[in-house]
């Protein structure tokens, strides 16, 4: 996650530098040798595009890999812009095309980088993943034949590709400890298959909470035993 954050911040710094240089050169375009620029930019496009394709295939939901992919994709987009600017310079001699295209490239990089940075910050803040609906997860758990109800359900991101969950799960009847553990293991496998939730912690209960907020405290029997012990 820190690597993805460093990638995003670095790209933002690069965007700022590109914008600064482009704005500075718009009123006073610098000489551009269109031929050599076109050749080098074409070679750069081939290398960067190939690297971006490879990273896109393996990145998945890993934000660090996505950050590396954005680096390569940004370089590929930059190469396309440089090729376009070189063609304009060769065809018309309009050297202002170079800084103008640079501003366009900066805008594209900023758009993609902002999405990456937002995703990284949400994971670092342990926010609820955008692709997992807590209500849908609750309904999935309650659809199990051994589950009477679910409350105090919390979802958060441990990493970009790792979601954690904790919940109070009320089981039907009054199963033994072995049966309750088996039910919990089955529910964990269900969540892993349906929502890619890799870390699930359940507090298994054998009776519904009398408090509608789900704040069950110790049961009456537990309180009597504690008082007798005292």
**Cα separation, 223 vs 217, whole angstroms:** 10
Sign of the torsion angle spanned by Cα atoms 129, 132, 138, 140 = negative
Q: Do the domain assignments include residue 186?
A: yes
Predicted confidence at residue 208, as pLDDT, reads: 67
Confidence of residue 36 (pLDDT cuts 50, 70, 90): confident
Same-domain check for residues 30 and 115: yes
Above 50 in pLDDT, residue 41?
yes
Same-domain check for residues 117 and 223: no
Task: Look at residues 96, 124, 152 and tell me which one is the last residue of a structural domain.
Answer: 124
Same-domain check for residues 86 and 112: yes
Residue 155 β-bridge partners = 165
- The winner for highest mean pLDDT among 21-25, 34-38, 54-58 is 21-25
**Cα separation, 206 vs 223, whole angstroms:** 17
Above 60 in pLDDT, residue 215?
no
Confidence of residue 213 (pLDDT cuts 50, 70, 90): low
Q: Do the domain assignments include residue 149?
A: yes
**Residue 187: how many CB atoms within 10 A of its CB?**
22
Same-domain check for residues 69 and 89: yes
Same-domain check for residues 156 and 218: yes
Predicted confidence at residue 57, as pLDDT, reads: 80
Same-domain check for residues 141 and 107: no
Q: What is the DSSP letter of 208?
A: -
Above 90 in pLDDT, residue 141?
yes
Q: Which residue range is the domain that position 41 belongs to? A: 2-124
Q: Do the domain assignments include residue 210?
A: yes
Same-domain check for residues 152 and 179: yes
CB 165 within 8 A of CB 191: yes
Same-domain check for residues 144 and 95: no
Task: Using alpha carbons only, give the angle 224, 226, 230 rounded to the nearest 5 degrees.
Answer: 115
Which domain CATH number covers 162? 3.30.70.1350
Confidence of residue 188 (pLDDT cuts 50, 70, 90): very high
CB 210 within 8 A of CB 218: no
The residue with greater pLDDT, 169 or 224, is 169
Task: Look at residues 124, 145, 168 and tell me which one is the last residue of a structural domain.
Answer: 124
Task: Look at residues 124, 147, 162 and tell me which one is the last residue of a structural domain.
Answer: 124
**Cα separation, 217 vs 17, whole angstroms:** 58
Same-domain check for residues 41 and 94: yes
Same-domain check for residues 144 and 117: no
Mean pLDDT of 47-69: 79
* Measured distance between the N- and C-terminal CA atoms of the chain, rounded to whole angstroms: 49
Mean pLDDT of 207-211: 65
Predicted confidence at residue 159, as pLDDT, reads: 77
Please give the tally of structural domains in the chain. Answer: 2
Token readout for 87 is: 């063609």
Above 90 in pLDDT, residue 166?
yes
**Cα separation, 109 vs 73, whole angstroms:** 9
Return mean pLDDT, the chain.
81
Predicted confidence at residue 49, as pLDDT, reads: 87
Q: Do the domain assignments include residue 129?
A: no
Predicted confidence at residue 222, as pLDDT, reads: 31
Confidence of residue 61 (pLDDT cuts 50, 70, 90): low
Residue carrying structure tokens 């009456």: 220
């Amino acid at each position: 996650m820190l690597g993805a954050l460093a990638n995003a911040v670095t790209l933002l710094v690069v965007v700022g530098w590109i914008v600064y240089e482009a704005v500075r050169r718009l009123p006073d375009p610098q000489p551009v040798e269109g031929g050599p620029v076109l050749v080098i930019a074409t070679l750069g496009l081939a290398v960067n595009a190939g690297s971006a394709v490879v990273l896109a295939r393996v990145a998945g939901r890993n934000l660090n890999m996505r950050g590396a992919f954005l680096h390569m994709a940004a370089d590929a987009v930059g190469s396309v812009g440089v090729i376009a600017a070189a063609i304009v310079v060769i065809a018309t001699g309009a050297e202002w095309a170079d800084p103008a295209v640079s501003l366009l490239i900066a805008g594209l990089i900023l758009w993609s980088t902002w999405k990456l940075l937002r995703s990284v910050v949400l994971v670092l803040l342990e926010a609820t993943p955008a692709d997992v609906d807590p209500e849908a997860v609750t309904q999935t758990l309650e659809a199990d034949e051994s589950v009477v109800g679910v409350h105090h359900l919390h979802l958060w991101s441990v990493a970009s590709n790792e979601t954690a969950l904790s919940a109070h799960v009320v089981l039907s009847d009054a199963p033994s400890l072995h049966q309750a553990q088996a039910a919990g293991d089955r529910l964990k496998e269900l969540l892993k298959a349906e929502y890619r939730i890799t870390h699930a912690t359940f507090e298994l209960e054998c009776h519904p909470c009398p408090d509608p907020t789900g704040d069950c405290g110790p049961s009456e029997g537990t309180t009597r035993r504690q008082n007798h012990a005292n």
